[in-house]
């Protein structure tokens, strides 16, 4: 747990945009476990941080809604279905590109807690 | 405030939405194709040359919109995964676009009927791929 928190601290990220509302809001600060894929493969319902296939320098936060091809490919979507650009626009993403799994919100204090 | 700066993340996780916002529905194509069908009916029912000329002009316009809506579904909505699920997806969209061209050329109701049935096939693939849940509010 402590090791997970330490390594997640180095990969922490700020949420930009509203496509994950209501669970995540713009301005939320999250701990992101960069080794989440090592312990187990991404599963349906997981939050993931993945490079935007159309602009790899930009990281997207989305939720896995389908896993296929033996776990190699992920269909990722936003929680706010009417305000999201996701796999419905850019297709599936390779599971190997997942940068990490956000699991804990440490800011703002009023919304502190697990997000996964 | 210094503490906040210290704990602030160094990177951004974009939960973003592009514009356009991904609303797709074959109903758009269907409505324009139904217009074509009705216009052809009215064309045949009329003796008024001016009306008939206007009917042709409007049909041309509507059929063009059908083509546009089919193209948007084909290029923007459907993804490789959908082609895997529906191997005749490309062929159906291609035939539907061709059928829309036929409706532009002719005043034959059969052409309009054929176009409607192809749009309905696209609609089934859209529904089968979760289109209503994924793209409509």
Domain presence at residue B76? yes
Top residue of B4, B12, B15, B126 to mutate, by most chain A CBs within 10 Å, is B15
Tokens at residue A15, please? Answer: 């949420």
pLDDT band with cut points at 50, 70 and 90 for residue A70: confident
B101: domain CATH number? 1.20.120.400
Domain presence at residue B18? no
Q: For residue B54, is pLDDT > 70?
A: yes
Q: For residue A53, is pLDDT > 80?
A: yes
What pLDDT was estimated at residue A21?
Answer: 87
DSSP A20-55: TTTTS-TT-EEEEETTHHHHS---TT-EEEEEETTE
Domains recognised in chain A with CATH numbers: 2-114 (2.10.109.10)
Kindly list the residues from chain A whose CB atom is less than 8 angstroms away from the CB atom of residue B76. Answer: 89
Average pLDDT, stretch B53-82?
90
Would you say the pTM of this structure is higher than 0.90? no
Domain presence at residue B83? yes
Indicate yes or no: CB of B134 within 8 angstroms of CB of A88.
Answer: yes
pLDDT band with cut points at 50, 70 and 90 for residue B122: very high
Query: Number of structural domains, chain B?
Result: 1
**Nearest residue in chain A measured CA to CA from B134:** A81
What pLDDT was estimated at residue B21?
Answer: 58
Average pLDDT, stretch B42-70?
94
Point out which residues pair with A63 in neighbouring strands. Answer: A47, A77
B88-121 pLDDT, tens per residue? 999 999 999 999 999 999 999 999 999 999 999 9
Indicate yes or no: CB of A84 within 8 angstroms of CB of B80.
Answer: no
Q: Work out the minimum CA distance from A46 to partner chain B, whole angstroms.
A: 15
What pLDDT was estimated at residue B1?
Answer: 59
Q: Work out the minimum CA distance from A61 to partner chain B, whole angstroms.
A: 5
Q: Work out the minimum CA distance from A90 to partner chain B, whole angstroms.
A: 8
Q: For residue A28, is pLDDT > 80?
A: yes
Kindly list the residues from chain A whose CB atom is less than 8 angstroms away from the CB atom of residue B16. Answer: 16-17, 19, 60, 84-85
Does B80 contact A at CB distance below 8 Å? yes
Q: Are B21 and A18 in contact (CB under 8 A)?
A: no
Domain presence at residue B127? yes
pLDDT band with cut points at 50, 70 and 90 for residue A82: low
B4-52 pLDDT, tens per residue? 888 889 888 988 765 555 678 999 999 999 999 999 999 999 999 999 9
Q: What ipTM does this complex have?
A: 0.87
3-state SS of B33-63 is HHHHHHHHHHHHHCCCHHHHHHHHHHHHHHH
Q: Which of B10, B17, B81 lies closest to A84 in CB terms?
A: B17
Tokens at residue A66, please? Answer: 């389908």
Indicate yes or no: CB of B15 within 8 angstroms of CB of A15.
Answer: yes
Q: Which of B9, B15, B76 lies closest to A12 in CB terms?
A: B9
Indicate yes or no: CB of B15 within 8 angstroms of CB of A18.
Answer: yes
Indicate yes or no: CB of B16 within 8 angstroms of CB of A106.
Answer: no
Average pLDDT, chain A: 89
The residue range of the domain holding B37 is 26-135
Average pLDDT, stretch A48-53?
92
What pLDDT was estimated at residue A73?
Answer: 92
Q: For residue B123, is pLDDT > 90?
A: yes
């Amino acid at each position: 747990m402590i090791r997970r928190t330490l390594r997640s601290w180095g990969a922490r990220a700020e949420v930009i945009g509203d496509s994950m509302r209501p669970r995540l809001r713009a301005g939320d600060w999250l701990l992101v476990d960069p080794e989440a894929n090592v312990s187990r493969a991404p599963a349906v319902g997981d939050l993931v941080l993945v490079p935007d296939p159309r602009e790899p320098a930009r990281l997207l936060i989305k939720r896995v809604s389908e896993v296929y091809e033996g776990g190699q490919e992920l269909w990722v979507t936003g929680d706010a279905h009417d305000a999201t650009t996701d796999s419905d626009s850019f297709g599936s993403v390779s599971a190997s590109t997942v940068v990490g799994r956000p699991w804990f919100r440490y800011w703002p204090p009023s919304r502190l807690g697990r997000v996964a | 405030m210094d503490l906040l700066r210290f704990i602030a993340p160094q990177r951004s996780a974009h939960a973003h939405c592009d514009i356009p916002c991904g609303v797709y529905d074959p109903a758009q194509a269907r409505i324009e194709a139904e217009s074509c069908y009705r216009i052809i009916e009215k064309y045949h029912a009329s003796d008024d040359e001016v009306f008939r000329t206007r009917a042709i002009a409007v049909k041309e316009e509507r059929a063009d919109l059908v083509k546009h809506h089919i193209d948007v579904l084909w290029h923007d909505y459907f993804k490789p995964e959908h082609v895997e699920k529906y191997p005749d997806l490309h062929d159906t969209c291609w035939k539907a676009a061709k059928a829309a061209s036929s409706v532009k050329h002719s005043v034959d109701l059969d052409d309009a009927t054929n176009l409607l049935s192809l749009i309905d096939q696209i609609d089934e693939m859209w529904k089968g791929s979760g289109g209503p849940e994924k793209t409509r509010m």
